[in-house]
């Protein structure tokens, strides 16, 4: 019996002859095909929301979020994890990405890395029940990713599969699944295209929503932003000016007294307290600016 080919490896509707298309039509096809990625993620909104609530609950209890992927999936996971500390002021190890082949695989393909199930299981050997692990694989068949999720689940961590194939090994291995059915690619088998786009959208949604649930956002503002460059320093100043209701001179003074921490600076002004008291109040309120200002 021949092996069943996953939908991500199938032939695109119409079997477009890319090499025969005029460039304008080629670009229109490639760009237009991306609409399927957005639609596929939108269908999974409820599944993503369930994952977010479970992940946030574990992080509140001191756990970490692990992303596991190979190839494009691993690189997208690494990108998302890397954005968490500067955007939300998280510790570097709160959201961790594990990519098949290690750091070298971020800049070049490492042959056979995704087939190394033993390496996948090894990255989850220290997983704890308070952790969460999201395995990312378009086909859902990468042994590295499947083994990592199986190992994490065996250690009672919360496990999520992010795949484009509902019948995949990864989906079966995880406790919860987010299946973004993007189907066949315009360039057959090249899941860096719309399958990759769908993964990027889903990861953006997961990480951002988790951080909202953890109190890292006030309204739609990144109040835990780490102001380590001029653009972000201006943003921090603008946030304190707007949310504390002060002029720029006062905002600068508050930020300096608060050690650059936007939330503490706002609490200092709104609650008429010093930096130590503001920090203590925020800690008692689980880091939520909204709760601290009530």
**pLDDT tens digits, one per residue of 166-199:** 999 999 999 999 999 999 999 999 999 999 999 9
Tokens encoding 163: 């795949």
Q: What letter would DSSP give residue 222?
A: -
How confident is the prediction for the chain on average, in pLDDT?
Answer: 94
Whether 136 contacts 106, CB under 8 Å = no
Q: What is the pLDDT of residue 3?
A: 53
Is 294 assigned a catalytic role? no
CA 159 to chain centre: 14
Is 185 assigned a catalytic role? no
Residues 6+ apart with CB under 8 A from 82: 97
Q: What letter would DSSP give residue 105?
A: G
**What is the rounded average pLDDT of the residues 227-231?**
89
Is 2 strand, coil or helix? Answer: coil
**What is the rounded average pLDDT of the residues 272-285?**
96
Whether 138 contacts 202, CB under 8 Å = no
pTM for the complete prediction?
0.92
Q: Which CATH architecture has domain 7-209?
A: 3-Layer(aba) Sandwich (3.40)
Return the CATH fold of 230-293: Helicase, Ruva Protein; domain 3 (1.10.8)
Whether 130 contacts 61, CB under 8 Å = yes
**pLDDT tens digits, one per residue of 113-148:** 999 999 999 999 999 999 999 999 999 999 999 999
Rounded to 5 degrees, what are φ and ψ at 170? -65, -45
Of the listed 9, 83, 175, 181, which one is catalytic? 83
Strands (E), the chain: 65-69, 95-99, 132-137, 158-163, 176-179
How far apart CA 230 and CA 153 sit, in angstroms, is 43
Enumerate the domain spans of the chain: 7-209, 230-293
Torsion of CA 36, 42, 44, 46, to 10 degrees: 180
> Does 7-209 match 230-293 in CATH topology?
no
Tokens encoding 73: 């999936």
């Amino acid at each position: 019996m021949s092996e069943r080919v996953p939908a991500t490896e199938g032939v695109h509707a119409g079997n477009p002859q890319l090499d025969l298309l005029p460039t304008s039509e080629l670009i229109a096809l490639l760009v237009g095909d991306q609409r399927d990625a957005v639609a596929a993620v939108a269908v999974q909104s409820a599944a993503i929301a369930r994952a977010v609530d479970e992940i946030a609950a574990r992080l509140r209890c001191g756990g970490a979020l692990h992303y596991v992927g190979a190839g494009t999936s691993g690189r997208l996971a690494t990108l998302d994890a890397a954005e968490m500390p500067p955007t939300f002021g998280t510790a570097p190890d709160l959201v961790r990405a594990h990519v098949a082949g290690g750091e070298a695989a971020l800049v070049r393909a490492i042959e056979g890395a995704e087939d190394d199930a033993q390496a996948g299981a090894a990255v989850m050997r220290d997983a704890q029940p308070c952790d969460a692990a999201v395995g990312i694989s378009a086909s859902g068949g990468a042994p590295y990713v499947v083994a990592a999720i199986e190992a994490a689940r065996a250690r009672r961590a919360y496990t999520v599969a992010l795949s484009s194939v509902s019948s995949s090994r990864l989906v079966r291995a995880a406790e919860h699944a987010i299946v973004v059915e993007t189907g066949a690619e315009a360039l057959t088998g090249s899941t860096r295209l719309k399958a990759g786009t769908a993964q990027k959208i889903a990861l953006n949604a997961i990480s951002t929503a988790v951080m909202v649930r953890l109190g890292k956002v006030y309204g739609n503002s990144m109040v835990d932003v780490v102001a380590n460059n001029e653009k972000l320093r201006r943003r921090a100043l603008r946030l304190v000016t707007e949310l504390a209701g002060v002029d720029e001179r006062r905002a600068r003074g508050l930020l300096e007294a608060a050690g650059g921490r936007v939330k503490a600076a706002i609490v200092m002004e709104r609650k008429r307290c010093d930096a130590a008291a503001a920090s203590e109040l925020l800690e008692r309120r689980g880091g939520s600016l909204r709760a601290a200002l009530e």
